[in-house]
Amino acid sequence: MTAVPAPITAEQIEFAPYGEFESDCPARMGVDVFGNSWLPVVVYMLRDGPMRPSDLRAAIGGISQKMLTQTLRRMQRMTLIDRHRYAEAPPRVEYELTEAGRDLLIPIYALGDWVDKHGRAVGAGRMGPEPDDD
């Protein structure tokens, strides 16, 4: 099993200067990666090593074959996973995280920590009455 990295605090991170809200700001790409609800789930499921698509789909639950295929293709284009096709009968395909994909586990674990700390309050707030607009 892979060791879980220690959480990184905001004070430990130094970013290259970009103009505020620039269209080419690298943070937009990060938001886009997490904007796809299935991509972080697939990264997390691949954390222990290569998996076949059918095993991924069974482990994830709730994802359609079409959405899994689209997510895997997108991740491959983004160089987050490698696709390995084995010349067997029947052919076997496995997907494995690249270094960039493994590095995504850091913010995924951090998000999990945040949910552990604040998930109930945020969830309860989402179900409560809308705040008044002053």
Do 53 and 72 meet the contact criterion of CB atoms below 8 Å apart?
yes
In a domain, 67, yes or no: yes
Q: Residue 107 belongs to what domain range?
A: 31-113
In a domain, 119, yes or no: no
DSSP 46-78: TTTS-B-HHHHHHHH-S--HHHHHHHHHHHHHT
Give the model confidence (pLDDT) of 9-25 as tens digits: 656 666 666 666 566 67
Q: Tell me, what CATH number does 83's domain have?
A: 1.10.10.10
Separation CA 18–CA 25 (nearest Å) = 7
What tokens were used for 133?
């607009």
Q: What is the mean pLDDT of residues 54-81?
A: 96
In a domain, 16, yes or no: no
Q: How many domains does the chain have?
A: 1
Q: What does the pLDDT read at residue 7?
A: 63
Torsion angle of the four alpha carbons 65, 31, 93, 69, in this order, in degrees rounded to the nearest 10: 20
